[in-house]
Structure 1
């Protein structure tokens, strides 16, 4: 499983909105500029995030995007699934021998567990108390 720029930049959008939660809408132009990313590409990512109900658009001169729920209610897994699809380390494991199937399933479940228990709140508070501390990311 490889997370593409869709997942990585989508997570960037969501983290920026979480950092500014409750302070009003944030334009994608601001997020793009502050993170040295393409505004056009972020606009493409905002559409599926909006359709999934993970962000809400606010129109007008002071418009932009906001989170419709608190950062503690949205997980990295929610975001990655919308932008990348189902989380699976290996496809077609049905063809593998049972021992290999079990291994790939365990690794996939471990990845899902990390993504589904890491919230946007955890990510914006990362420097204060690292919720990912203790996990090995050498997969």
Structure 2
């Protein structure tokens, strides 16, 4: 997969968490993902379609990180994954995809974005609607881990 597609999502994710929740995340080592099992406890998934490429992008949060990001963004403490958490993960997914879409647009790639879907639960699956390599990028913070998956058809 073209690194031109990957880097905007990574930088946008780092920026959104820093700006919205003052959470600093550090990227780990990328790998190719061969299965559909999410690495986190709650995941947001969004599809992106353009004239020359289509793909999808997901963010999976460990429960601990999701709860802490919610607390830092909203100012309320929640102990368990709930509808409030899934709403927040959907919104973060949308903001990250929007930031990446803007960066990709500056490079001449135009995309329309779908509405994000959010899935929770242990060992839930993420099904990218595109045939292509899935890049998995882990992130770590003092509040827990997150994982980004990016899959484009080129």
Question: Does TM, scored on the shorter chain, surpass 0.5?
Answer: no
Q: Which has the higher helix share?
A: 1
TM-score (normalizing by structure 2)? 0.33
Which of structures 1 and 2 has the bigger CA Rg? 1
**Structure with larger RCO (C-alpha < 8 A, sep 6+):** 2
Q: Which has the higher strand share?
A: 2
